[in-house]
């Protein structure tokens, strides 16, 4: 198990390096540069040049990259071009909020989704099943910025039950978390349903039934456990899409998390910040995949060997 963990961690390091290279090149290939944005729509070429020089963005790319790598190795991600504060500090301030919202959305969404999925699988083709299927299809199809605006309009502007924007109290979390949890909810419901249906058709379930076990016991002890593997896989991936979903949702709800930071950094062509955000996202994504893999290996010994 330890060897497996080490192997997977090394792979993660490799992926992170790839992400650093890719993002380093990508941010510099988008048209526009931070100095042009900073100097504003009407600017002099001298202003732009002198700013680029100050930040060292006029140096040859390999030199910039070598310097960046050396700094990253020391844990220094540079400082933001727009806020002028250290990138690591900004990331550290914003990470908890994004992770908190994504986690709440994942836990609530998948929790409800699994229950809905089980219920559907037991009532295959019935009214409940059909409503749930249509509901979850809608859930994955509707873009989150639209849902966010509808929720805001109804619950904040019209009914006045909840605050619309910002994060100042627990009530502020309700709408963003609801928006974000719809996708994992839908995914979990669909996955659980199909996994359950497959498992319920297996011989050992029939055996359990013929042993005279109660339906509740069969579902808990036999069906759910075996249905868990595909569900966990999909939820692991959903975590990644929640992080990227936060980019849109945080912009709409004015939440100062990583997602909004990303949008601002792109708009400002804030190279150091963009690199930092991408590195952090890659790390979070990689870690969640690693966790899923470990979880697999834990419940299915075959994975460890291969």
Partner 1 sequence: MRLRRNLSAIGITLVLALAACSGAPEATTSAPGNPSPESSGGTETGSQGGSITISVGPEIPVFDPQLATGLANVGITNLVIEVLVYPDPETGEPTPGLAESWEPLEGGSVWRLNLRQGVEFTDGTPFDAEAVKFNLDRILDPATESPFRGRLSAVEEVLVVDDHTVDIQLTGPFGPFIRLLGEPGIGMNSPAQVDALGADYPTDPIGTGPFILDSFTPGQGAVLVANEDYWGGRPLLDEVRTLPIPDDPARVVALEAGDVQLIYNVPSQDLARLEDNPDLELLQAPGARAIELNINHSVEPFDDVRVRQALHHAIDKQALNETVFAGLAEVSTSFFTSRAFGYSEQEPYEYDVERARELLAEAGYPDGFETRLSYGEGLYLSSPEVAQTLQAMLGEAGIVVELEPIESATFLSDFYKPASENPYELAISGISNGPLDAWKGTQHYHGTRSGFISDGSNQMFYSNPDVDAALDTGETSADPEVRAEAYAEAQRLLWEDAVTVPLYIQPQFVAKSSALRDVFVRANETVDLFTAWLAD
Q: Which of 148, 138, 239, 147 is nearest to 190 (CA)?
A: 138
| Contacts (CB under 8 A) with partner 1, residues 219-258 | 251-254, 256-257
48: tokens are: 């732009």
DSSP secondary structure code for residue 80 in this structure: -
Q: Which residue has the tokens 């959903």?
A: 238
Per-residue tokens: 260: 């909004």
Q: How far is the CB of 100 from partner 1 (least distance, A)?
A: 15
Q: How far apart are CA 48 and CA 204, in angstroms?
A: 71
Three state DSSP letters for 88-152: HHHHHHHHHHHHHHHHHHHHHHHHHHHHHHHHHHHCCCCHHHHHHHHHHHHHHHCCHHHHHHHHH
Minimum distance of partner 1 from residue 50's CB (angstroms): 6
- Give the footprint of partner 1 on residues 46-75 (CB under 8 A): 46-47, 50-51, 54-55
Nearest to partner 1 of 126, 166 (CB atom):
166
Q: Which of 164, 231, 274, 297 binds partner 1 (CB under 8 A)?
A: 164
Q: Which two tokens stand for residue 178?
A: 């609801």
186: tokens are 């839908």
Q: Which of 218, 264, 278, 297 binds partner 1 (CB under 8 A)?
A: 264
Out of 45, 60, 62, 75, name the contact with partner 1 by CB under 8 A. Answer: 45
In the list 102, 261, 280, 297, the residue contacting partner 1 (rule: CB under 8 A) is 261
Sole window of 114-122, 190-198, 267-275, 281-289 interacting with partner 1 (rule: CB under 8 A): 267-275
Residue 92 in the binding site for partner 1 (CB under 8 A): no
Is there binding between residue 163 and partner 1 (CB under 8 A)? yes
CB atoms within 10 A of CB 7: 11
Nearest to 186 by CA among 125, 134, 264, 262: 134
Instruction: Enumerate residues 118-147 that contact partner 1 by CB under 8 A.
Output: 145
Q: Give whichever of 156 and 197 is closer to partner 1, judged by the CB atom.
A: 156
Q: How far is the CB of 59 from partner 1 (least distance, A)?
A: 17
Q: Min. distance of Cβ 183 from partner 1 in angstroms?
A: 19
Count the helices and strands in the chain (H runs, E runs).
14, 0
Whole-number Å distance between alpha carbons of 196 and 201: 9
> Using the rule CB under 8 A, is 169 a contact of partner 1?
no
Question: What does the binding site for partner 1 look like in residue numbers (CB under 8 A)?
Answer: 30-33, 36-47, 50-51, 54-55, 80, 82-85, 90, 93-94, 145, 148-149, 152-153, 156-157, 160, 163-167, 251-254, 256-257, 260-261, 263-264, 267-269
């Amino acid at each position: 198990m330890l060897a497996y963990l080490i192997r997977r961690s090394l792979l993660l390091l490799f992926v992170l390096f790839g992400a650093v290279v890719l993002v380093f090149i990508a941010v510099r290939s988008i048209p526009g540069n931070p100095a042009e944005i900073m100097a504003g729509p009407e600017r002099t070429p001298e202003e732009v040049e002198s700013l680029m020089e100050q930040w060292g963005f006029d140096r040859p790319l390999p030199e910039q990259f070598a310097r960046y790598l050396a700094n990253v190795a020391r844990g220094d991600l540079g400082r933001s071009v727009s806020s002028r504060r250290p990138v690591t500090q900004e990331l550290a301030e914003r990470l908890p909020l994004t992770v908190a919202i994504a986690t709440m959305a994942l836990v609530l969404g998948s929790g409800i989704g699994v229950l809905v999925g089980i219920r559907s699988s037991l009532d295959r083709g019935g009214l409940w099943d059909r409503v749930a299927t249509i509901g979850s299809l809608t859930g994955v199809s509707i873009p989150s910025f639209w849902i966010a605006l509808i929720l805001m309009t109804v619950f904040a502007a019209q009914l006045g039950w909840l605050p619309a924007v910002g994060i100042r109290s627990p009530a502020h979390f309700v709408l963003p978390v609801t928006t974000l949890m719809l996708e994992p909810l839908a995914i979990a419901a669909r996955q659980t349903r199909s996994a359950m249906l497959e498992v319920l058709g297996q011989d050992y379930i029939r055996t359990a039934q013929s042993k005279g076990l109660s339906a509740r016991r069969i579902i808990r002890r036999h069906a759910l456990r075996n249905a868990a593997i595909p569900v966990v896989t999909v939820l692991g991936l959903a975590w990644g899409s929640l992080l990227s979903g936060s980019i849109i949702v945080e912009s709409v709800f004015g939440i100062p998390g990583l997602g909004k930071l990303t949008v601002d950094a792109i708009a400002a062509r804030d190279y150091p910040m963009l690199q930092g955000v991408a590195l952090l996202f890659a790390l979070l994504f990689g870690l969640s995949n690693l966790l899923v893999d470990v979880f697999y290996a834990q419940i299915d010994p075959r994975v460890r060997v291969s």
